[in-house]
Structure 1
Amino acid sequence: MRNVNVGLLILRISLGVLMLFHGIAKLITGVAGIAGMIDDYGPTFLAYGVYIGEIIAPIFLILGFRTRLAGLVYVATMLVAVLIAHLGDITSLSKAGGWAIELPALYFFGGLALFFTGGGKLAVSRKNKWD
């Protein structure tokens, strides 16, 4: 039995919950570390954007509210994360033999998939272009 909508629900909840842990950690510890990394690229207040990418977008994904938009925010968040924290790892392998940035890549491609598919029929908003 094939059920694409249940698959999309599982993907949305998985990506949302797993990224939400990162966002909660930043709520607890703050964004000073990220601000320090961003300092080389632009104004440090941009570090607060992590709350959009790691708290608001994941909640939207979990609910299936504006899934395409949340997926796009996810993609942007992962691009910034790789550029400021993992740029040197793009061509590296981990000690276990996997791609050194496989977790950011998984979030990136998961967000990209949801951008193209939308949230499915088991989403809160499913009747518009940003479902």
Structure 2
Amino acid sequence: MLDNADIGKLIVRLTLGGLLLFHGIAKLIHGIDFIEGQLTSHGIPAFFAYGVYIGEVIAPLMVILGYQTRIGAVIIVFNMLVAIALVHSHELLALSGSGGWALELQGFFLFTALALIFLGPGKYKLKS
């Protein structure tokens, strides 16, 4: 009973998608002004900030539902690489106040999505 890779994949999908979706919902409620500012400070047009809704709302829903999971995971990987490059690059080698990696959360989202690209959704998913 404990040897069930499909249940493990479901747990990974629900965890990654669920936790990242909270960030997307916060952006839906509070807006994306910060992201627009970060993009323009790097010479990138502000309208690209709307892509965060794809990376933090649509892609997590895809992952949670198991619908085109690998595509959703690729989008999340791209989203996290952009976030790290624009906002967190100075923390790549930093530790937090409690001794953990300063980018634990971003690393979790990035590497869990990367793992899902290789694992796939498992048996418990929407039929696609």
User: Would you say the 8 A contact 1:89–1:100 is kept in 2?
Assistant: yes
Tell me which amino acid in the other structure corresponds to 2:53: Y
Question: Which residue is equivalent to 2:46?
Answer: 44
Equivalent residue number for residue 104 of structure 2: 102
Deviations 1:47-100 (A, max 9, x none): 000000000001111100000000100100100110111010001000000000
Which aligned pairs between 1:67-86 and structure 2 lie closer than 5 A?
67-86=69-88
What is the RMSD computed on CA atoms of the aligned residues?
0.9
- Farther-moved stretch of structure 1 (116-125 vs 103-112): 116-125
2:60 is aligned with 1:58: yes
Whole-angstrom distance in 2 between the partners of 1:40 and 1:123:
40
2:41 is paired with a residue of what secondary structure? coil
Q: Normalised by the size of structure 1, how large is the TM-score? A: 0.93
Give the aligned length: 126
Q: Distance in 1 between matches of 2:127 and 2:5?
A: 17
Identity %: 48
Q: TM-score, normalised by structure 2?
A: 0.95
**How far apart in 2 are the matches of 1:12 and 1:117?**
10
Residue of structure 1 equivalent to 2:12: 11
Structure 1 regions of 5+ residues with no counterpart? 127-131
Query: 1:120 matched to which residue of 2?
Result: 122
**Structure-1 residue corresponding to 2:92:** 90
